[in-house]
């Protein structure tokens, strides 16, 4: 079993749609959690950290469920510019482990 697993997608949604991604992790000792965005042929860029109580940044909401060992990312009112690959990342004992990413395409 991979340490961090994501549905690879692709998710194809119309503009304005709400889309949600889940990411599961295997190590219960995982300490901190993140969502990254990666555009084609670019480096991953930090989108948001994921806090235990859940957190929101504009149209983006991240949640953590420690009991079930998953994190989620909700994007509301999707924009064309949201098209990218979304990577979840989990820090375990100093090491950062990444999921393979979920590809999102937002269409007009």
Partner 1 sequence: SAVISQKPSRDICQRGTSLTIQCQVDSQVTMMFWYRQQPGQSLTLIATANQGSEATYESGFVIDKFPISRPNLTFSTLTVSNMSPEDSSIYLCSVPGVNTGELFFGEGSRLTVL
Site residues for partner 1 per CB under 8 A = 4, 31-32, 34, 41-46, 49, 87, 89, 91, 95-101
Give the nearer residue to partner 1 in terms of CB position, either 50 or 106: 50
Q: Which two tokens stand for residue 103?
A: 């590809």
The residue among 18, 45, 31, 29 whose CA lies nearest residue 101 is: 45
CA atoms within 13 A on the CB side of 75: 26
Give the nearer residue to partner 1 in terms of CB position, either 3 or 17: 3
- Residue 59 CB, nearest approach to partner 1 (Å): 20
Give the nearer residue to partner 1 in terms of CB position, either 36 or 78: 36
Distance of CA 93 to the CA centre of its chain: 20
């Amino acid at each position: 079993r991979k340490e961090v697993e994501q549905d690879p997608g692709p998710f194809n949604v119309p503009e304005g749609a709400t889309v949600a991604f889940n990411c599961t992790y295997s190590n219960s000792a995982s300490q901190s959690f993140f969502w990254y965005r990666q555009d084609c042929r670019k480096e991953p860029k930090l989108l948001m950290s994921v806090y235990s109580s859940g957190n929101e940044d504009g149209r983006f909401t991240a949640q953590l469920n420690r009991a079930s060992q998953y994190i989620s990312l909700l994007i509301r009112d999707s924009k064309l510019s949201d098209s990218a690959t979304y990577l979840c990342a989990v820090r375990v004992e100093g090491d950062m482990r990444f999921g393979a990413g979920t590809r999102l395409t937002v269409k007009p």
